[in-house]
Amino acid sequence: MNKALIPILVAALGIAAHAAPVDAAPDTYGPVEVTTGRFETLPGGVAHGFDIRGGAIMFRSDVDGGTTTVTVRVRGLAPNTTYKTHVHNAPCSATPAGGGHYQHQSPGAVDAVNEIWPTLTTDDKGRAVGYAEHGARARSDAQSIVIHWSEDTAVRLACVDLT
């Protein structure tokens, strides 16, 4: 995807995350499936004093052999911090929240090539935008995105269901 489109995706995220009902079915525009959602702060985030807000949008396409693009926008995290953020293979209601990491080839490598990592680095106000693009269409088991605590990735701070 052209990096010049990132601001457009971020703007779309702001609109879609507030407009899409939680129980809405994914929209399909020709060969592109669009799923969105809003983050909810998980118990691990509450325990660390976070009130995380924001949303995510995923574009899945069959164009050019398949592509997936994810944009995440959040606020309410610690300032000037990097958070590992991953697409997960179960809904936020699963135990643990979001299940495990989604992988294009499972079992496979735990890296940014086989998994979708829209890593977040916050500004001085605790806001961040993350972006990831992959040359494969994510399957239907790419169901959520989880933000992990920077000091212990076993702690899940927030989760968004992609619906």
Quick one: how far is CA 2 from the chain centroid? 19
Choice among 19-23, 69-73, 117-121 with the minimum mean pLDDT: 19-23
Distance CA 146, CA 163 (A): 15
Return the pLDDT at 30.
55
Residues 2-27 pLDDT 10s: 444 444 444 454 534 433 333 444 55
Return the pLDDT at 64.
80
Confidence band of 33 (pLDDT split at 50, 70, 90): very high
Cα distances from 159 to residues 12, 54, 136, in angstroms, run 19, 10, 23
Domains with residue ranges and CATH for the chain: 3-161 (2.60.40.200)
Single out the residue of 81, 82, 77, 74 nearest to residue 45, CA to CA: 77
Query: Left if phi > 0, otherwise alpha if psi is -120 to 50, otherwise beta: which for 93?
Result: alpha
Distance CA 131, CA 149 (A): 18
pTM to 2 decimals? 0.81
Return the pLDDT at 24.
42
